[in-house]
Amino acid sequence: MKFTGKNVLITGASKGIGAQIARTLAEFGLKVWINYRSKPELAEALMQEINNNGGKAAIICFDASDENAFAQAIKSIVDSDGELSYLVNNAGITKDKLVLRMSTQDFNDVINANLNSAFIGCKEAFKVMSKQRFGSVVNISSIIGEIGNAGQVNYAASKGAIIAMSKSFAKEAASRNVRYNSITPGFIASDMTDVLSDEIKQTYYKSIPLARFGDAKEVANAVAFLLSDYSSYITGEVLKVNGGLFM
Ligand code: NAP
């Protein structure tokens, strides 16, 4: 994989899919800025792991839904390293409930954590990337944003909107050589899917053509491709990483 830029910021990267994205991008030679919100010990351990393996990593604490904090974080990266070429908006939460039990607060909390944080990141990164006349952003959406799901009205709304938002950013930013793409993972083995019972997992396996949950590494490889020069003519695209569950 070939990368023109040097630095990548990944939100919500101290664990799960975000941590695997950080490991993978470091293996490809990028300096990874690991954003965390609440677990410094996990972020520090990941930074050390990457640095011990010959990669370059730094940690940066902020709440991705806090506009000022996100802007300040990007400024400090650029002050430190002179550029920010890549951003992965990965931070996300769920607050699943059937809709009659879902409060407006539950809805807004998920929109704020998943969609507003991605909007802030896309916008703040564009300020830097448009001046550089170079950049690539990947937004982590979800298969649920494409097909919906009972009990996830809030999550589906946030993830579906990320797809539409990315396409609109892609149209505005193309003249500045800044690309925006989305990835829609299906069921990926992680804390988010570990809560499912074995029985439910077996039911899902039967409906997935590749008959298993995905690995975070398989999402990370797709992120690397969409950030890299190998996808230089791809923008506004939605890349499904779902084992064939939704085609
Ligand atoms: P995870 O293990 O729960 O990790 C999510 C990370 O996001 C956590 O580190 C969390 O930090 C962070 N985060 C949440 N809100 C944040 C905020 N406001 N500011 C900064 N960090 C924040 O989840 P995951 O399974 O790795 O999922 C990663 C992304 O993939 C999410 O966007 C998710 O929706 C998406 N996705 C996952 C799956 C799946 O099967 N796992 C499928 C499709 C899409 P704290 O611990 O501090 O809260």
| Residue 199 beta carbon below 6 angstroms from any ligand 1 atom | no
pLDDT score of 192: 76
CA distance linking residue 138 with residue 218, whole number of Å: 15
* Distance in Å from the first CA to the final CA of the chain: 26
pTM check: above 0.75: yes
In a domain, residue 246? The reply is no
Which residues span the domain enclosing 46? 7-241
pLDDT score of 247: 97
CA of 91 to the centre of ligand 1 (A): 4
Counting the structural domains of the chain, the total is: 1
CATH at 32: 3.40.50.720
In a domain, residue 1? The reply is no
Q: List the one residue out of 90, 69, 80 whose CA is nearest residue 222.
A: 90
Q: What is the pLDDT along the chain (247 residues), one digit of tens a residue?
A: 999 999 999 999 999 999 999 999 999 999 999 999 999 999 999 999 999 999 999 999 999 999 999 999 999 999 999 999 999 999 999 999 999 999 999 999 999 999 999 999 999 999 999 999 999 999 999 999 999 999 999 999 999 999 999 999 999 999 999 999 999 999 999 887 888 899 999 999 999 999 999 999 999 999 999 999 999 999 999 999 999 999 9
| Residue 63 beta carbon below 6 angstroms from any ligand 1 atom | yes
**Is 243 buried (19+), middle (13-18) or exposed (0-12) by CB count in 10 A?**
buried
In a domain, residue 92? The reply is yes
Which residue's CA lies nearest to atom 46 of ligand 1? 38
In a domain, residue 247? The reply is no
Q: List the one residue out of 198, 212, 126 whose CA is nearest residue 169.
A: 126
3 state SS of 10: strand
In a domain, residue 44? The reply is yes
In a domain, residue 29? The reply is yes
CA of 175 to the centre of ligand 1 (A): 31
pLDDT score of 8: 98
In a domain, residue 61? The reply is yes
In a domain, residue 136? The reply is yes
Which atom, in ligand 1's list, is nearest to the CA of 17? 26
Q: CA torsion 20→24→30→35, rounded to 10°?
A: 0
| Residue 109 beta carbon below 6 angstroms from any ligand 1 atom | no
